[in-house]
Amino acid sequence: MISLSKVILPGATIGIIGGGQLGRMMALAAKAQGFRIAVLEPTPDSPCGQVADVQVIGAYNSREAISKLAEMSDVITYEFENIDADTLGWLCEHATVPQGPTLLTITQDRIKEKRAIQQAGIEVAPYEVIQGLDDLLLKIDAVGYPAVLKTARGGYDGKGQLVIHHPEDVLEGKALCELGPCVLEKWIPFEKELSVIVTRKQNGETAIFPVAENIHVDNILHQTIVPARISETVAAAAVQKAEELADSLELVGTLAVEMFLTKDGTIYVNELAPRPHNSGHFSIEACETSQFEQHIRAICNWPLGSTELLKPAVMVNLLGEHLETLYREIPTQKNWKVHLYGKEEPKWKRKMGHVTLLRETTADALEELEMSSIWNTAKEKIGG
């Protein structure tokens, strides 16, 4: 039996499945604490691979590649959810994977995820499980218009989703239905999108980051504002829901809980991500302990750090179309915390990095950002 309660000490090797930017920032936090990093990723010179000690080049479901990672790692974690369940099950039997397979399996499937949230006593948007186009035609009236059709598996940044505004739009859902089971959700007219990031150890020790307010453009996170511009009552309710979910799911590691806040103060949990999250990047500079360091502490069985907010912050994603302007503006911008992820090709709408501004108030940070030409396109789309 592999012990999941041992303390992993500096000098040990942490294996990371996935070579993207989350793995990169996780690796940088781990290396600052004295760990070595091995990463499994199909593509050479990945963002995480650039800072890792060892790169295992192979498919995520390759038993040969995953075995290599297991042999050289003292503990293993992951930076994204797209891991084959059978491969993860084998890995949990042959290596130290404190997060285990259960939560990942739940969050890979929106149907399982919604049921798990409800079992924790937390409210989600009204929904129906859709098994095909005929099922969609049968159930759409029960959900009402507008509604959102989402594939049960896969999809991110708006991919694998369709908003159905009117009865004549329903047939457009055929393509998604052909991909497999789907979830049909009632459209929630929210006032704000919130997220709470919670980290928990196997012994139940828990730390929660300040509630973040998120603004999306074209289904991609544009800005994260911390502290969220909400009442203390709403913030406390959001934190409580995140903590209850962490306990119910027996979380080990980090969980991002995305929520909708309606005009009447109701909070619906929208999605879960069992890992560090884009909306938690502000914590690198703005909190005493970042979400990445905290995650490493949890999987290595160290005491969790303080999540105290040191200063109000606004984080903005840098997409491919922003980089040229960013390079021109860097010499003129004071106290911009710029993070670039090492991706070779700056594609349109591709997340290439982020910028965090720490100011006396979030209003000061937002005002400064609005003076930058980088954000003009985004501001037009959000009515700025």
Q: What is the mean pLDDT of residues 236-255?
A: 98
- What pLDDT is recorded for position 2? 57
- What pLDDT is recorded for position 158? 59
Q: What is the mean pLDDT of residues 238-253?
A: 98
Give the model's confidence band at 371: pLDDT under 50 very low, under 70 low, under 90 confident, else very high: confident
On the question of pLDDT at 221 being above 90, the answer is: yes
- What pLDDT is recorded for position 82? 81
- What pLDDT is recorded for position 378? 52
On the question of pLDDT at 152 being above 70, the answer is: yes
Residue with tokens 């929904």: 127
How many CA atoms lie less than 13 Å away from 23 in the CB half-sphere? Answer: 30
Give the model's confidence band at 1: pLDDT under 50 very low, under 70 low, under 90 confident, else very high: very low
On the question of pLDDT at 384 being above 50, the answer is: no
Q: What is the mean pLDDT of residues 136-153?
A: 95
On the question of pLDDT at 84 being above 50, the answer is: yes
Q: Please state the domain extents for the chain.
A: 13-97, 126-186, 190-381
pLDDT, tens digit (0-9, with 9 covering 90-100), for 308-327:
999 999 999 999 999 988 98
Q: What is the mean pLDDT of residues 205-220?
A: 95
Q: Which of 108-117, 176-185, 374-383 has the lowest mean pLDDT?
A: 374-383
On the question of pLDDT at 214 being above 80, the answer is: yes
The CATH topology of domain 126-186 is Dna Ligase; domain 1 (3.30.1490)
Between CA 320 and CA 340 the distance in angstroms is: 11
Between CA 314 and CA 369 the distance in angstroms is: 9
**Where is pLDDT greater, at 382 or 296?**
296
Q: E strands along 218-350, which residues?
A: 220-226, 253-262, 267-273, 313-319, 336-340
pLDDT, tens digit (0-9, with 9 covering 90-100), for 98-114:
999 999 999 999 999 99
Second-level CATH architecture of 190-381: 2-Layer Sandwich (3.30)
Q: What is the mean pLDDT of residues 24-42?
A: 98
Question: For the structural domain made of 13-97, what CATH number should be given?
Answer: 3.40.50.20
- What pLDDT is recorded for position 332? 86
- What pLDDT is recorded for position 30? 98
Burial call 102-127: b when 16+ CB within 10 Å, e when fewer: ebbbbbbbbbebbebbeeeebebbeb
Helix intervals (H) in the chain: 21-32, 63-72, 85-94, 102-107, 110-119, 133-143, 174-177, 232-248, 283-286, 291-299, 323-329, 362-370, 376-381
Give the model's confidence band at 256: pLDDT under 50 very low, under 70 low, under 90 confident, else very high: very high
Q: What value does the mean pLDDT of the chain take?
A: 93
Give the model's confidence band at 51: pLDDT under 50 very low, under 70 low, under 90 confident, else very high: very high
On the question of pLDDT at 239 being above 80, the answer is: yes
